[in-house]
């Protein structure tokens, strides 16, 4: 198995090397490459031949709502209403504007993503050569149970169905957890199965997830279900009926090791997984605190932050200790925060605060990603970014609270033993009109009053007006023992996808947990 694993990584590294070399060799030709990308897209999706300037004049900026009808028609008919290429899958995701979105994936689009994946993997192999002799875990997403019926009889495919035969074989050899766990009856079962497969794998070398809270959750499950996981690994039989469709892993060696470990000790995880070399997750903006917790939880393991990779497309990737634009993937523009002017990537300069606009092989044209980035450096002529956060404006009745307001309010109430987590805009509530709720944990005696929260929020003109007009009810302060668990359950109840959830300073929710 060791020789097969090593050979598989060698093949993957070789396959990724072209993307790595291409990225470096053409990094001084940003404008040329980007204009070529746009020209290729237009030839693929229309008979027009336009310069960038003509393209920007003819096509408006778009968001998911502008494409939703065409996407739904494509899902129902099986014919692509966004372009000439066949849609090979619809990738479900969630966001601030929609509880559930379906992003069309074509082969053209997958090829664009391959550029970024190839660059990332090639860079990882160079930085951490020991990863060539270990298995990897790349997180698998699943839908909340409330959304499963929406997908019945649809043409949604699992990830492995998109790979060619050779890559499918390589994936099975190098991956620690089978993608079939996504078919579990519940998210709880899927999480438990993931934890069991991870513990069973003594060759685990990398854990790659999006949200650090997701990784922390997996570690919690292993710690809290230690005895149950030991039994599964000893017997090779699941302890939960909902997982019987999936062959259970068996490892007496790993079960014995887990049984004697004290997982509260940060060095214990390295004893469980001696080859564990790297953990990768979001580590900026609202994820920063949780990423730090994750690094503290697992000792003697390297950590790498994620770039900006949305379901709709990739914007930045970790490379050369920075996060440069994945300029070989899609066509990119950016909305300048100060003037709201849209500029192409080759016109950016250090200090610009921007939101990305992408045109991709999926057929999405000038699609706005509502995140904020700051240009902090250049790799040759390629802009490098720092992720600042989502443009999280919540507008229940016209009050227009934004991300920066929430950060300020949370910081005002934060104390050594009292931690406000997030401000939630509650859209529907039987007892009250739309209102805001601050979620917190810690010393309840330090908890501010609802009136104090209201007063701080009233520093914003539109919020105060909405309160004066009686459009918004008085806010609440919700104190719970574990604010992250409450936040996660509330987000899932509101239709978000397990594994994509991370605490945000400001978030709109349709309902709340009573």
Residue 160: the pLDDT is: 42
Residue 181: the pLDDT is: 86
Cα separation, 397 vs 106, in Å, equals 38
Supply the DSSP string of 17-60, one letter for each residue.
HHHHHHHHHTTT-HHHHHHHHHHHHHHHH-S----HHHHHHHS-
Q: Checking DSSP bridges between strand 302-305 and strand 313-314, what pairing results, if any?
A: unpaired
Cα separation, 342 vs 365, in Å, equals 14
Residue 187: the pLDDT is: 74
Q: Minimal CA–CA distance to 422: which of 512, 489, 470, 487?
A: 487
Residue 125: the pLDDT is: 93
How far does the chain reach from its first CA to its final CA, in angstroms? 51
Q: What is the pLDDT along the chain (514 residues), one digit of tens a residue?
A: 678 888 888 888 888 899 999 999 999 999 999 999 999 999 988 878 899 999 999 999 999 999 999 999 999 999 999 999 999 888 877 654 554 688 999 999 988 998 898 899 899 999 999 999 999 998 865 555 555 555 544 444 444 444 444 555 666 788 999 888 878 877 788 889 999 999 999 999 999 988 887 888 899 999 999 999 999 999 999 999 999 999 999 999 999 999 999 999 999 999 999 999 999 998 987 678 788 999 999 999 999 999 999 889 999 999 988 999 999 999 999 999 999 999 999 999 999 999 999 999 999 999 999 889 999 999 999 999 999 877 767 878 777 787 778 988 999 999 999 999 999 998 877 788 889 999 999 999 999 999 999 999 988 877 887 787 677 899 999 999 988 888 888 888 777 776 777 778 898 887 776 5
The answer to whether residue 479 is domain-embedded is yes
Residue 54: the pLDDT is: 96
The answer to whether residue 361 is domain-embedded is no
Residue 155: the pLDDT is: 42
- Provide the residue range defining the domain that includes 434: 403-509
The structural domain count of the chain equals 1
Other CB atoms within 10 A of residue 217 CB: 21
Report which secondary-structure segment, H or E, holds 174: helix 165-174
């097969």: which residue's tokens?
4
The answer to whether residue 127 is domain-embedded is no
Cα separation, 64 vs 357, in Å, equals 12
The answer to whether residue 62 is domain-embedded is no
Cα separation, 290 vs 43, in Å, equals 44
Residue 286: the pLDDT is: 64
Residue 389: the pLDDT is: 78
The answer to whether residue 451 is domain-embedded is yes
Residue 170: the pLDDT is: 67
The answer to whether residue 463 is domain-embedded is yes
The answer to whether residue 338 is domain-embedded is no
The answer to whether residue 454 is domain-embedded is yes
């Amino acid at each position: 198995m060791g020789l097969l694993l090593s050979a598989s990584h060698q093949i993957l590294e070789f396959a990724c090397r072209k993307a790595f070399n291409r990225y470096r060799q053409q990094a001084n030709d940003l404008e040329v490459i980007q204009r070529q990308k746009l020209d290729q897209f237009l030839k693929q999706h229309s008979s027009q031949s336009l310069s960038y300037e003509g393209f920007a004049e003819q096509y408006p900026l778009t968001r998911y709502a502008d494409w939703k009808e065409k996407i739904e028609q494509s899902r129902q008919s099986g014919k692509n209403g966004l372009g000439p290429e066949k849609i090979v899958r619809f990738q479900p995701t969630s966001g601030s504007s929609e509880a559930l979105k379906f992003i069309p994936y074509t082969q053209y689009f997958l090829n664009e993503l391959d550029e970024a994946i190839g660059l990332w993997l090639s860079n990882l192999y160079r930085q951490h050569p020991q990863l060539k002799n270990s298995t990897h875990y790349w997180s698998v997403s699943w839908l909340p149970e409330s959304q499963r019926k929406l997908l019945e009889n649809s043409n949604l495919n699992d990830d492995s169905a998109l790979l060619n035969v050779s890559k499918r074989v390589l994936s099975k050899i190098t991956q620690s957890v089978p993608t079939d766990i996504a078919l579990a009856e519940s998210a709880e079962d899927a999480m438990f199965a993931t934890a069991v497969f991870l513990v069973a794998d003594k060759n685990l070398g990398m854990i790659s997830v999006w949200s650090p809270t997701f990784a922390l959750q997996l570690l919690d499950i292993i710690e809290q279900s230690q005895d149950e996981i030991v039994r599964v690994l000893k017997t090779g039989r699941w302890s939960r009926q909902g997982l019987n469709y999936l062959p259970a892993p068996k490892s007496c060696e790993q079960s014995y090791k887990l049984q004697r470990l004290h997982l509260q000790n940060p060095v214990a995880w390295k004893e469980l997984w001696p080859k564990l070399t790297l953990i990768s997750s979001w580590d900026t903006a609202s994820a920063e605190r949780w990423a730090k917790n994750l690094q503290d939880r697992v000792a003697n393991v390297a950590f790498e932050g994620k770039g900006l990779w949305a379901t709709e497309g990739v914007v930045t990737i970790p490379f050369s200790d920075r996060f440069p634009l994945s300029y070989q993937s899609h066509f990119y523009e950016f909305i300048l925060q100060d003037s709201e002017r849209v500029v192409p990537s080759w016109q950016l300069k250090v200090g610009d605060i921007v939101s990305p606009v992408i045109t991709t092989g999926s057929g999405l044209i000038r699609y706005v990603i509502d995140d904020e980035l700051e240009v902090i450096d250049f790799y040759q002529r390629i802009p490098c970014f720092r992720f600042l956060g989502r443009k999280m404006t919540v507008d229940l009745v016209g009050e227009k609270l934004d991300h920066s307001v929430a950060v300020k309010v949370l910081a005002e109430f934060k104390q050594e033993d009292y931690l406000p987590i997030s401000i939630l805009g509650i859209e529907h509530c039987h007892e009250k009109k739309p209102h805001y709720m601050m979620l917190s944990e810690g010393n309840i005696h330090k908890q501010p009053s609802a009136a104090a929260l209201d007063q701080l929020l009233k520093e914003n003109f539109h919020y105060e007006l909405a309160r004066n007009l009686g459009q918004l009810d008085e806010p609440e302060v919700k104190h719970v023992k574990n604010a992250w668990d409450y936040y996660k359950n509330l987000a899932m109840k509101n239709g978000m996808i397990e594994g994509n959830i991370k605490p945000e300073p400001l978030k709109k929710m349709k309902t709340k947990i009573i």
